[in-house]
Structure 1
Amino acid sequence: MRMQSFNMACAITALAIGGVLANDSAAKISAGGIVLEKTDKVRMVSEDLYVSKDLVKVRYVYENITNAPQDLTVAFPLPKIAAEDVPYSYSRHFENTDFIEFSTRIDGDNVEPREIVIIRSQDGRNVTEFFKNKGLPLGPFNALWSYNLENDYDNIKMITLSQDLREEGLLIQDKDGYDRRAWSTEIYFVWQYRFEPGKQVTVDHQYTPITGGQFFLGDVTYDGWSFKKDFQKEFCASESEWTALEKIAGKQQTPLIVDLGYILQTGNNWAGPIGQFKLTIDKSDPRNIVTLCWDGKLTKIAPTQFQFEASNFTPKQDIVMAVTQGWRE
C-alpha cells in the first residue's frame, strides 16, 4: 500500500525532534529490563489519539474478554533516545527523566505509574548499573551529555570517565577520530491493573511531547548524504511541499523544523485489532506546514486539524511528522 504525505497548509518556524510515546502494551519486568508482551485476554475496544507539537493525549477503552479477572502489568514506552542525538537535536536539557508531565487516569481516577529508566549500549546490553555505579545521570538531557563531555566535571574526572566509557564500549571513535556516544535511553511508565471480566475500562494519558530542533538546510549534499532526500524519505514530503518549505525558509534567518511522533504498533499487543480507532493531527496554527507518512486518508475537520478513522484497525506504522512554521512569537 502506498504511503501518503499530507500538506496541512503553510508556514514554519521551529522544528523539534523527538518525542513520542507509545500505545499501551501488556508487559513484564525481567532482569534485562521491560519486555512488552502480547495478551489474548484483553482487547482494545477503542483508541482516540490526538497529536500536536505541544500536547499528546489519548483515550483507550479496554475490555477483558475472558470469564476471569486478568492481572496485567501495563507499560507505556517512550521511543529510544540516542545519546548521540541529544547535543544536536534537543534544545533543552533536563536533570531528570520526568520531563514530559506524563499523567494517567483510569476510569477518571489519577494513577501514578512507576517510571523505569534503562540505559542500553549500541550492541543491546543493559548498562544501567554501570551508569549508577559511576554516579552518572540517567536523564537523557542532563547537561553532562554536551558535545564535548566537559560541563560540570574537572579535566581529570572527564579523562577518567571517558576512558571508562570507552572500555565499556560506550564511546566509539568514528573514521575521523571523534568520540561518538554509543548508548541510548529507554523510559517506561508502568503500572499494574486488574481487568475484571466483561467490564470496560477507560484509560487516559496526556503528556508534553519531547521537542528539539534542527535547521532546515535545503537541498544540500555532503559526502553522499542529502538533507532533501533524507527529509522526503522520513516525512513523505512531495516535491510541491518541498518547494513550499524552501520558499518559507528563504524568508527566515534561522528556519527550524519540529518533528515528533507516536508509537502505534504496540497496540497490536492486545487481543485482536483495535475496535474503533481515531487519529487527530493538529498543526497548531493555520500557517503551519505538516508532512508525514500515513497509509490512509486524513480529512480536514478544522483550520488546523486533520482526522483519520477506522474500524477493526491493525496499526502497521508509527507516526512521525514534521511541523514547520513561518512566523515568530
Structure 2
Amino acid sequence: MPRPAKALYCAAALTLTLPMTGVSAEESLANLDAGGLIVEPADQLELKAEDIFLSTRQVRAAYRFLNKASQDLTLTVAFPLPEVTGETDLDLAIPNPASPNFLNVQARAAGKSVETNVEQHAFFTADGGKESEITDLLKGMNIPLLPAGTTTAEALKRLSSEDRAKLSTPGYIEQAGENWVPLWTLRSRIVRQQVLAAGKEIILQYSYTPSVGSAAGLYFDRANLTGESLTQYQKKYCVNEGFLRAADALTKRLTAAKPQPGETAQAPKTRQTYFGYAFIGGGRWSGPAGRFGLVIDKAFPDNLVSFCADGAKKVSSTRYELKRNNYAPDRNIDILILDKNVAP
C-alpha cells in the first residue's frame, strides 16, 4: 500500500476511528482535522489575539495581526485543507466532496468577505519509491483530484480500458469488486493575498464545516472501553472517571428500556462523534498569541464530552471556554462527544 508523504507546513490531519467493540465499517466514519493558518512573511507579524470556536456544525477562527515592520507587507495567507489519501475500505466524513473547497471554507478580512483560490495537487508514492505528482494526468482524464466520494468513483468507472490501465499499472488505483479505488494523496490549501499597512492591525477570519467522524453502538461503558482502547481514549481525549460513570449510566438506561405496548422492540442506539482542530504546524509568526481564546460547544446539554484542555471552564449548558495570555497551544485538540440524543 503506498504511503502519503507529509505536506510542508500543513496542520491538517486524518483521524481514524479507534479500535471499538461491536462496530462495523458501515457504522463508522473517519474524520479529517483542519486548522493552523499560514501567513507569509511571518517574522514581521505579531499575533495580538487568536480566537477559536469549535463545534460539530461549524469551526470559526479569528486572528488579529500587527504589522511590526516599517513598510507595508503583502501577505500570502493560506488555510491548509486536510491531506487526503485514498484507501480501500475507508469511509471519510467530507462535508462537500463534489467541491475542491470540500470543507466549505469562507474567509473574511477586516470584517468583509474576501475571495480566495483553491490550490490542489495530487501525489503518489509507491512503496520504497519517490513521490511523483500526477495532477495533470488526472485532470487530463477529467478525474476529480479528491481521492474519495462518489464523484471520483463514478469518474473512474467511466474510464476507457486504456486510460484505466494508465492509472492501474503504476498503482494509482486498484480494483475492489466492481469499483476502482484511488490511492493517491491530495494536498489542498485556500490561499489569497492581503496587504497590511506598516504599523497597522488586521483581523483575518476563517470559518468552515468540520469533518466529523462518527461510530454507532454501546461501547463507552467500563465493560467495553478497557485495555488498549481505554488507554487510547485517555491519551487522545483525556477520558476520565466522570465520563465513564455517565457512559455506564446511559448504557444501563438504554439496555433496560422496554418497548411500549404495541411497539416493536428496537436495539438501543447512541453514537459517538469526534472531530478536532490542528493547532500544530500552522503559523510561524514571532511569538505566541497575546490573547488566546478557545470555545468548545457540545450542541446539547445532555451530551457527554471529553477533550484535553487544561484550564477549560464550563460557561453554559453546552459550552466550555479556555482563556490564556501569551499562549501558543503545544498540541492539537481532539474532541469526543457521546450524543445521547439519537437514542429512541
Common fold: TM-score over 0.5: yes
Query: Are residue 206 (structure 1) and residue 213 (structure 2) matched?
Result: no
Structure-1 residue corresponding to 2:9: none
Partner residue, 1:26: 39
Amino acid at match of 2:327: F
Q: 1:238 aligns with which of 226, 237, 240?
A: 240
Provide closer, same or farther for how the CA distance between residues 240 and 233 of structure 1 changes in structure 2, counting only shifts above 3 A: same
Looking at CA atoms only, which structure, 1 or 2, has the larger radius of gyration?
2
Aligned in 2, Cα 1:180/1:16: closer, same or farther, shift over 3 Å?
Answer: closer
Count of matched residue positions in the alignment of Structure 1 and Structure 2: 294
Using a 3 Å threshold, how does the CA distance of structure 1 residues 91 and 23 change in structure 2: closer, same or farther? closer
CA contact (8 A) 1:50 1:56 kept: yes
1:301 aligned to which of 291, 315, 318: 315
Extract unaligned runs of 5+ from structure 1: 1-13, 28-37, 174-178
The alpha carbon displacement at 1:326 in A equals 1.0
Q: Which one-letter code corresponds to 2:116 in the other structure?
A: P
Identity %: 22
How many angstroms apart in 1 are the aligned matches of 2:251 and 2:168?
40
Structure 1 pair 125–290 and aligned structure 2 pair: CA distance change class (3 A) = farther
User: Is the contact between residue 40 and residue 271 of structure 1 (CA under 8 Å) also seen in structure 2?
Assistant: yes
Between 42-51 and 16-25, report the one with greater CA deviation: 16-25
Matched to 1:121, the amino acid is F
**1:54 matches 2:57:** yes
Q: Which residue of 2 aligns with 1:6?
A: none
Q: Which residue of the other structure, out of 302, 308, 313, is the alignment partner of 2:327?
A: 313
Does structure 1 residue 324 correspond to structure 2 residue 338? Answer: yes
- 1:97 Cα shift? 2.5
More relative contact order in 1 or in 2 (CA 8 Å, sep 6+)? 1
Q: State whether residues 122 and 187 of structure 2, in contact with CA within 8 Å, keep that contact through their aligned partners in structure 1.
A: yes
TM-score under structure 1 normalisation?
0.76
The structure-2 alpha-carbon separation of the partners of 1:65 and 1:269, relative to structure 1 and needing over 3 Å to count, comes to same
Return the offset for 1:84: 2.3
| 3-state SS in 2 of match to 1:264 | coil
Q: 3-state DSSP class of the match of 2:340?
A: coil
Return the offset for 1:307: 0.8
Q: CA RMSD in A?
A: 3.5
Of the candidates 270, 279, 289, which is equivalent to residue 294 of structure 2?
279
Structure 2 counterpart of 1:129:
136
Using the TM superposition, name which of 265-274 and 39-48 deviates more. Answer: 265-274
TM-score by length of 2: 0.73
The answer as to whether partners of 2:147 and 2:182 remain within 8 angstroms in 1 is: no
Residue matched to 1:112: 115
Instruction: Quote how far apart the aligned CAs of 1:87 are.
Output: 4.2
How is 1:122-161 mapped onto 2 (pairs within 5 angstroms)? Answer: 122=125, 124-144=131-151, 151=154, 154=157, 157=159
Distance 1:231 1:106, change over 3 A: same
2:304 matched residue in structure 1:
289
Q: Which runs of 5+ in 2 are unaligned?
A: 1-26, 255-266
